[in-house]
């Protein structure tokens, strides 16, 4: 039985006639307490980048976070790439902005789609994501749950080449293999290779194919009805502009009397942060300013929850099979032990656990 007790504030007040202050308990400061605690603790975010080599992944990541995460990268030649398997490389960097600390982990997947035979080249990537879920599941079920390190992948930026006419089979296979494990955000790489018309056509095509193949990319949450009109408009624009057509650059050039991050060509300058040139700013705002928390929430509440439910289901199933074996088969096996009952032995072999016979 529960009882709901409503307290009225009895804290000392400064002025006699201030009824507002009399009724002030103080729980209005709760958001401030949460804010202070979170800032103290710091934030973490794990971003995976995937796509063929040379698609501009490292340049884009550097442009997004204004860091040089790839200082020690070794580029392979064509011969080395022929039989290259997909590697998983983690780069971690601590960034601080206005006193807020962010531990950013970039999970790079060099070698993806680079070999002659790309059959199942996404397997090491799905395995990696599962391993992080498994580690988290173990830590969470362990005794010391206080300082669990969360290495789960919160988002995967998937780079689609700008040169084709939509998705390639490898893109479809990759996204289908990962869409239930991670938030996929598809990007059109090196968008400066395309005219605005071509970008529009390619975006429409990719969106159509994503629907056609039943690929579940990250869905932006619905905007609350009480949000202001400007916010609703921005949200609408964001949703309409996917897949984001991006441009990256590690150099700063002079354009219209200003120093900007861009690419200098004989015919002009492409500005990374100019919204009429590409969707870089929209992507950055979405990823960092508006949806980072939602990406983490969806990872935790949907993808990890699915993994966890599956694990628990398998554990209960194998437990009940074991129980059944012990109850039903063990006595029979005992009786037939001498005659080496192969039927029972086969069942045990298939159960993948060691049976200790006293
Ligand atoms: P990664 O192997 O996918 O990490 O690709 P990199 O970031 O190393 O880029 C490969 C090459 O593409 C480099 O010469 C970059 O300067 C160039 N590059 C990167 N981003 C862009 C872009 O947006 N447009 C164009 N045209 N080239 C780019």
55 close to ligand 1 (CB < 6 Angstrom)? yes
What pLDDT, on a 0 to 100 scale, did the predictor assign at position 186? 96
- Mean pLDDT score of the chain, rounded to an integer? 81
Q: What percent of the chain stands above pLDDT 90?
A: 38
Whether the pLDDT of residue 4 is over 60: the answer is no
Distance 294 CA to ligand 1 centre (A): 29
As given in the structure block, the two tokens for residue 37 are 């605690």
**How many CA within 13 A on the CB side of residue 214?**
2
As given in the structure block, the two tokens for residue 30 are 């709760």
261 close to ligand 1 (CB < 6 Angstrom)? no
109 close to ligand 1 (CB < 6 Angstrom)? no
58 close to ligand 1 (CB < 6 Angstrom)? yes
What pLDDT, on a 0 to 100 scale, did the predictor assign at position 110? 78
**3-state SS, one letter per residue, for the chain:** CCCCCCCCCCCCCCCCCCHHHHCCCCHHHHHHHHHHHHHHHCEEEEEEEECCCCCCHHHHHHHHHCCCCCCCCCCCCHHHHHCCCCCCEEEEEEEEECCEEEEEEEEECCCCCCCCCCCCCCHHHHHHHHHHHHHHHHHHHCCCCCCCCCCCCCEEEEEECCCCCCCCHHHHHHHHHHCCCCCEEEEECCHHHCCHHHHHHHHHHHHHHHHHCCCCCCCCCCCCCCCCHHHHHHHHHHHHCCCEECCCCCCEEEECCEEEEEEEECCEEEECCCCCCCCHHHHHHHHHHHCHHHHHHHHHHHHHHHHHHHHHHHHHHHHHHHHHHHHHHHHHHHHHHHHCCHHHHHHHHHCCCCCCCC
Identify the weakest region by mean pLDDT among 15-19, 156-160, 230-234: 15-19
As given in the structure block, the two tokens for residue 130 are 């599962």
Say if residues 282 and 275 touch (Cβ distance below 8 Å): yes
Beta bridge partners of 44: 103
What pLDDT, on a 0 to 100 scale, did the predictor assign at position 10? 47
**Residue corresponding to tokens 């995976």:** 48
**Would you mind telling me the total number of residues written for the chain in this entry?**
358
Distance 54 CA to ligand 1 centre (A): 6
Question: What is the position in ligand 1's atom list of the atom closest to the CA of 55?
Answer: 3
Distance 245 CA to ligand 1 centre (A): 14
Distance 268 CA to ligand 1 centre (A): 18
Phi, psi (deg, nearest 5) at residue 345 = -65, -35
Average pLDDT over residues 271-299: 92
- Report how far residue 13's alpha carbon sits from residue 11's, in angstroms, rounded to the nearest whole number: 6
Distance 248 CA to ligand 1 centre (A): 7
Average pLDDT over residues 316-333: 62
Residue of 338 and 233 predicted with greater confidence: 233
Phi, psi (deg, nearest 5) at residue 334 = -55, -45
Average pLDDT over residues 193-203: 94
56 close to ligand 1 (CB < 6 Angstrom)? yes
Tell me the C-alpha to C-alpha distance, in Å, between residue 62 and each of 40, 100, 146, 347: 26, 20, 33, 55
Give nearest CA residue, ligand 1 atom 26: 190
What pLDDT, on a 0 to 100 scale, did the predictor assign at position 320? 66
Distance 203 CA to ligand 1 centre (A): 20
279 close to ligand 1 (CB < 6 Angstrom)? no
Contacts 24+ apart (CB under 8 A), 268-277: 270/192, 272/63, 272/247, 272/248, 277/192, 277/247
Contacts of 114 (CB under 8 A, 6+ apart): 52, 53, 81, 84
Whether the pLDDT of residue 24 is over 90: the answer is no
Residue of 243 and 86 predicted with greater confidence: 243
């Amino acid at each position: 039985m529960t009882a709901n007790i409503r307290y009225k504030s009895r804290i000392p007040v400064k002025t006699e006639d201030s009824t507002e202050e009399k009724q002030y308990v103080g729980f209005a400061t709760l958001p401030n307490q949460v804010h202070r605690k979170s800032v103290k603790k710091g934030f973490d975010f794990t971003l995976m980048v995937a796509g063929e080599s040379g698609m501009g992944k490292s340049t884009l990541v550097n442009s997004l976070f204004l860091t040089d995460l790839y200082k020690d990268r070794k580029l392979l030649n064509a011969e080395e790439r022929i039989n290259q398997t997909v590697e998983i490389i983690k780069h971690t960097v601590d960034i601080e902005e206005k006193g807020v600390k962010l531990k950013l982990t970039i999970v790079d997947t060099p070698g993806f789609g680079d070999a002659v035979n790309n059959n199942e080249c996404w397997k090491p990537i799905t395995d990696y994501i599962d391993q992080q879920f498994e580690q988290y599941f173990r830590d969470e079920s362990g005794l010391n749950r206080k300082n669990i390190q969360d290495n789960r992948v919160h988002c995967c930026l998937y780079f689609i080449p700008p040169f084709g006419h939509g998705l390639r089979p490898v893109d479809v296979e990759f996204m289908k293999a990962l869409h239930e494990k991670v938030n996929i955000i598809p990007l059109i790489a090196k968008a400066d290779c395309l005219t605005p018309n071509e970008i529009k056509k390619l975006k429409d095509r990719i969106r159509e194919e994503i629907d056609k193949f039943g690929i579940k990319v990250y869905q932006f949450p619905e905007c609350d009805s009480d949000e202001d009109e400007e916010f609703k408009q921005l949200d609408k624009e964001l949703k309409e502009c996917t897949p984001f057509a991006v441009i990256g650059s590690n150099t700063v050039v002079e354009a219209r009397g200003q120093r900007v991050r861009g690419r200098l060509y004989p015919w002009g300058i492409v500005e990374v942060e100019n919204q009429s040139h590409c969707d870089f700013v929209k992507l950055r705002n979405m990823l960092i300013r508006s949806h980072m928390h939602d990406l983490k929430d969806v990872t935790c509440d949907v993808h990890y929850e699915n993994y966890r439910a599956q694990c628990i289901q398998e554990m209960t199933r194998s437990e009940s099979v074991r129980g059944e074996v012990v109850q039903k088969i063990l006595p029979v096996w005992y009786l037939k032990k001498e005659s080496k009952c192969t039927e029972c032995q086969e069942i045990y072999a298939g159960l993948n656990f060691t049976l200790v016979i006293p």
